[in-house]
Amino acid sequence: MERMTKWFAPWLLMVVALMSVQAAQARELPDFTDLVKQAAPGVVNISTTSTVNAGGAYGQQEMPEIFRRFFGDQMPPMPGMPGGNEERKSLGSGFVIRADGYILTNAHVVKDADEITVRLNDRRELPAELVGSDPRTDVALLKVDADDLQTLQIGDSDDLEVGEWVAAIGSPFGFDHSVTAGIVSAINRTLPSDTYVPFIQTDVAINPGNSGGPLFNLDGQVVGINSQIYTRSGGFMGLSFAIPISVAMEVADQLRTEGHVSRGWLGVVIQPVSRDLAESFGLDDARGALVSDVSDDSPAAEAGLQAGDVILGVDGTDIDDSTTLPRLIGQVAPGDEVQLQVMRGGDEQDIDVTVGDWPESLQADGSRGGKSADDQAKLGIAISDLSDQQKQQLDIDHGVLVRRVDPRGAAAGAGIQPGDVIVSFDQQAVSSADELIDAVKQADGDRAIPVRLIRDGNSLFVALRLGSDD
């Protein structure tokens, strides 16, 4: 017996020690129960009803799978279905920011809605009025006729750190007040289709119906609005994106007081600075935003900005990546003056610019409205004309610069990349963006089209398939 006790005692001590370690680890994990109890009454379910044309163009297109909006929309009619109008319902989430009935959600949740209904935590269902929406930041403000609603505490998204625990409450697939948790994976993330929002990336499980719902820190404060997911299947894959609450509240305040959002505008077309371009412009490293074009009668033109300038900073804030510039300028109130740090001809200088108001005639990517902005979607790229200086650097006399590429578009499928210069389309030289757009409109979508590019000083051809419009 004594021999058995001597043999068993060390094992017993090891088991006790292991259990103690596991208990200590369990105590270190966050407990969200109090957060949920306090915050749940301020989270709402949003349902919308809209009338759509079942035989329209939307009904003939497949829902995009990458960086798709995810508000629980039913799948659109498939090709071959009869036309006519049909009623479509969708679900999303939102949260109360003022006790007198103001509710924050995503703009895409209520887009084109004929009726909006808000279901509160106490199961009341109230009709909601759309106060205003801002598609560029994907923020919308609703108003219901109610008083003394429980509001959520607004936090400071600027204090978020990568690795910090966060939680979401929403209505995925219509399951009200579902709670999921995870960590902040990255901050200030720029997505291909959104240049004005420094997204919070998390691994919090987000699915259709969570869109518009709040993202909380461990103090129970709202730090973001769940807006997008990265998915190939339509469901959660570990990448979720939230709008910082600092951005959303600024937009909400303008929508409530003005009915619309004003944001700063320079009037420049920009592109990333590659290593080769950095060397050619006298930069030590690849940073800043290269101005490839300046709009006539724009604030940039009035301040003397030129194509070929590299904007390195705004009021002392460095621009490490070209996508930072639109966000910084968009936060400036129209009429305010900013000082740009610019590299021109190998010398750094400061240029003062009075920021303008974003013209209604501009699309979300900053280009002028009309056929060029609309028809670029078919190709899946954003393009601009080459400046004389760019032509001289590339030693060409014609071509069109590719500024951005939609990863879902035809151009991406052909291997076209940002920074490429398209010099011919279907064996015909192209000298301007308008020429390329016209060629795309007239192209036969049922066959492969040869496109000649200049990339890193080398000429190459790619085969492009646009797809049929029928």
Do residues 384 and 400 touch, judged by C-beta distance below 8 A? yes
Do residues 103 and 213 touch, judged by C-beta distance below 8 A? no
Residue 438: predicted pLDDT:
82
**Which uninterrupted H or E stretch holds 322?**
none
Q: Which residue has the higher pLDDT, 434 or 341?
A: 341
Closest CA to 446 of 467, 464, 469: 467
Residue 368: predicted pLDDT:
40
Residue 369: predicted pLDDT:
37
Residue 87: predicted pLDDT:
66
Residue limits of CATH 2.30.42.10 in the chain: 264-357, 371-464
Strand stretches in 279-393, DSSP E = 289-294, 310-314, 317-318, 337-344, 347-354, 356-357, 381-385
Alpha carbons 113 and 104: distance in angstroms, whole number: 16
For range 28-50, the mean pLDDT: 92
pLDDT band at 407 (very low <50, low <70, confident <90, very high): confident
Residue 11: predicted pLDDT:
61
- Does the pLDDT of residue 63 top 50, yes or no? no
What's at 247, amino acid-wise?
V
Do residues 190 and 182 touch, judged by C-beta distance below 8 A? no
Residue 7: predicted pLDDT:
55
pLDDT band at 141 (very low <50, low <70, confident <90, very high): very high
What percentage of the chain exceeds 70 in pLDDT? Answer: 79
Residue 15: predicted pLDDT:
58
- Does the pLDDT of residue 62 top 50, yes or no? no
Q: Output the pTM of the full model.
A: 0.66
Q: What is the pLDDT of residues 251-288, one digit of tens each?
A: 999 999 988 888 899 988 888 888 888 888 888 899 99
**Residues noted as catalytic:** 108, 138, 211
Q: What is the pLDDT of residues 177-207, one digit of tens each?
A: 999 999 999 998 877 666 678 899 999 999 9
For range 298-302, the mean pLDDT: 93
Closest CA to 202 of 171, 160, 173: 160
- Does the pLDDT of residue 60 top 50, yes or no? no
Chain mean position to CA 373: 18
Closest CA to 88 of 112, 56, 107: 112
Mean pLDDT of the chain, nearest integer: 81
Residue 441: predicted pLDDT:
79
Alpha carbons 184 and 433: distance in angstroms, whole number: 40
For range 5-26, the mean pLDDT: 57
Q: Which residue has the higher pLDDT, 237 or 340?
A: 340
Residue 22: predicted pLDDT:
55
* SS percent in the chain: helix, strand, coil, step 5: 25, 35, 40
Q: What is the pLDDT of residues 81-129, one digit of tens each?
A: 444 555 667 789 999 999 999 999 999 999 889 999 999 988 899 999 9
3-state secondary structure of 175: coil
Q: What is the pLDDT of residues 227-249, one digit of tens each?
A: 988 877 767 778 899 999 999 99
Alpha carbons 268 and 291: distance in angstroms, whole number: 6
- Does the pLDDT of residue 131 top 70, yes or no? yes
Alpha carbons 455 and 452: distance in angstroms, whole number: 10
Chain mean position to CA 178: 24
Residue 360: predicted pLDDT:
58
Alpha carbons 420 and 189: distance in angstroms, whole number: 24
3-state secondary structure of 187: strand
Residue limits of CATH 2.40.10.120 in the chain: 30-261
Question: Which CA distances in Å does 111 have to 174, 180, 366?
Answer: 18, 26, 21
Do residues 291 and 305 touch, judged by C-beta distance below 8 A? yes
Q: In this structure, what DSSP letter does residue 74 have?
A: P
Q: What is the pLDDT of residues 434-466, one digit of tens each?
A: 888 888 878 776 677 888 888 888 888 888 877
Residue 82: predicted pLDDT:
47
pLDDT band at 365 (very low <50, low <70, confident <90, very high): very low
- Does the pLDDT of residue 292 top 90, yes or no? no
Closest CA to 370 of 469, 301, 437, 421: 437
- Does the pLDDT of residue 354 top 80, yes or no? yes
Q: In this structure, what DSSP letter does residue 208 have?
A: T
Alpha carbons 142 and 99: distance in angstroms, whole number: 13
What class is the 371-464 domain?
A: mainly beta
- Does the pLDDT of residue 27 top 60, yes or no? no
Alpha carbons 217 and 161: distance in angstroms, whole number: 10
| 264-357 placed in CATH 3.40.50.720 | no
What is the CATH code of the structural domain delimited by 30-261?
2.40.10.120
